[in-house]
Amino acid sequence: MAYNAIGKRVRLSRILRDGKAVVFAFDHGVEHGPKDFPPEHIDPRVILKKVVDASVDAVMLLPGMAYLTHEVWANKTALIVKVTSKTNLRPEDQRMLQSVFGYVEDAVALGADAVAATVYWGSQYEDAMLNMWFSVREAAERYGLPCLQLAYPRGPAIKNMYDVEIVKYGVRAAIESGADLIKTYYTGSKETFEEVVKVAAGIPVLMSGGPAREKPIEFLKDVKNVVEAGARGVVVGRNVFQHKNPAGMIKAIMSIVHEGKEPEEAIKYVE
Ligand code: FBP
């Protein structure tokens, strides 16, 4: 086996320690702006310390954020460096495109365990996003870094991006484009998500968190459903950093993903 194949395997196992993972996504400052963060979390180190101390499996950060906060996460959790992004300040017709936001070499230099890049399948800019994805993947392959694809079906022809057939299409495209890990939308039920996991054909699928739910128990039920459907975990941001008890939310999610707890038991971490 080539050196880089070993490297990929070693790094993946640092993220999926028991085959599953809870990843804290914290790239929203660029995609949504600082308005996403409650005042107590405007200093990124504060929220990152809370989730790292709660033993989250990995954090997903843009390169500059990984640099800025390294004292908080280094040697305590796995690191996924996301190298694509966009702002919502762009003209609306260009928001279906992410741009280069760093390089695989930056991820390597920062000590990352994986790189992440978004593809908006179905976007009018799909071609540009695929060029970006394949250049990220090519470099990551050379360094033995696993590639997480945020496989998000979005575009003018997509009426409902949570529709199971649409999500399955994105997941199929993700595996055919060489993703090592796939982050995608919850399709609303365990049964439909089972279909999504089947389409991934063994490539680990992680549920994307989505906007913060009014009732956290509802989010925990979604987590339970996807794990029972065969997902390997979740990549969650807003449902954690917009909750008044982020550490408790991480522990609750971890207890479902890693220990198989029921949502009604898990919610006790935040009550
Ligand atoms: P959430 O759990 O907050 O949804 O985070 C996941 C994520 O994909 C982030 O990585 C990303 O910044 C954001 O959601 C994108 O949000 P939107 O759905 O508004 O594009």
What confidence tens digit (pLDDT) does each residue in 238-271 have?
A: 999 999 999 999 999 999 999 999 999 999 999 8
Mean local confidence (pLDDT), 181-186? 98
Torsion sign across C-alpha atoms 29, 35, 210, 223: positive
Q: How far is the CA of 111 from the centre of ligand 1 (A)?
A: 23
Instruction: Kindly indicate the confidence band of residue 46, based on its pLDDT and cuts at 50, 70 and 90.
Output: very high
Q: Quick one: pLDDT band at residue 182, thresholds 50, 70, 90? A: very high
User: Which CATH number does the domain housing residue 71 bear?
Assistant: 3.20.20.70
In the chain, the amino acid numbered 219 is: F
- Give the mutation target among 24, 28, 99, 101 for probing the ligand 1 site: most ligand atoms within 8 A of CB: 28
Share of the chain above pLDDT 70, in %: 100
Q: How many whole angstroms separate alpha carbon 76 and alpha carbon 60?
A: 14
| Mean pLDDT value of segment 7-19 | 98
- Give the model's pLDDT for residue 139: 98
Domain range for 97 is 3-269
Specify the pTM. Answer: 0.97
**What's the half-sphere exposure (Cβ side, CA atoms, 13 Å) at 55?**
7
Pocket of ligand 1, beta carbon within 6 A:
25, 27-28, 31, 150, 208-210, 235-239
Mean pLDDT of the chain: 97
Distance 210 CA to ligand 1 centre (A): 6
Please state the rounded mean pLDDT for residues 26-45: 96
Predicted confidence (pLDDT) per residue in 192-246, tens digit: 999 999 999 999 999 999 999 999 999 999 999 999 999 999 999 999 999 999 9
- Which are the catalytic amino acids? 183
pLDDT at residue number 262 = 98
Residue 149 is predicted with a pLDDT of 98
pLDDT at position 198 is: 98
Q: Given pLDDT bands bounded at 50, 70 and 90, which one contains residue 161?
A: very high
Phi first, then psi: give them for residue 222, nearest 5 degrees. -60, -40
User: Cβ contacts of residue 201 below 8 Å, gap of 6+?
Assistant: 175
Q: What is the per-residue burial (b if ≥16 Cβ within 10 Å, else e) of 24-56?
A: bbbbbbbbeeeebbeeebeebeebbbbbbebeb
User: How confident is residue 61, by pLDDT bands cut at 50, 70 and 90?
Assistant: very high
Q: What is the pLDDT of residue 202?
A: 98
Going by C-beta distance under 8 Å and a sequence separation of 6 or more, which residues neighbour residue 259?
A: none
Please name the residues in contact with 261: beta carbons below 8 A apart, sequence gap of 6 or more. Answer: 255
Please report the pLDDT score of residue 114 as a whole number: 98
The Cα 186–Cα 167 span in angstroms is 8
Place of tokens 């990984």: 66
Provide the percentage of residues in the chain whose pLDDT is more than 90. 99
Residues 76, 89: Cα–Cα separation, whole Å: 34
Which residues neighbour 202 within 8 Å (Cβ) at sequence distance 6 or greater? none
- Name 238's Cβ contacts closer than 8 Å, sequence gap at least 6: 28, 36, 209, 210, 211, 212
The residues with which 206 forms a beta bridge, in sequence order, are 183, 233
> What pLDDT is attached to residue 264?
98
Residue listed under structure tokens 């990124």:
44
Number of folded domains that form the chain: 1
End-to-end CA distance of the chain: 49
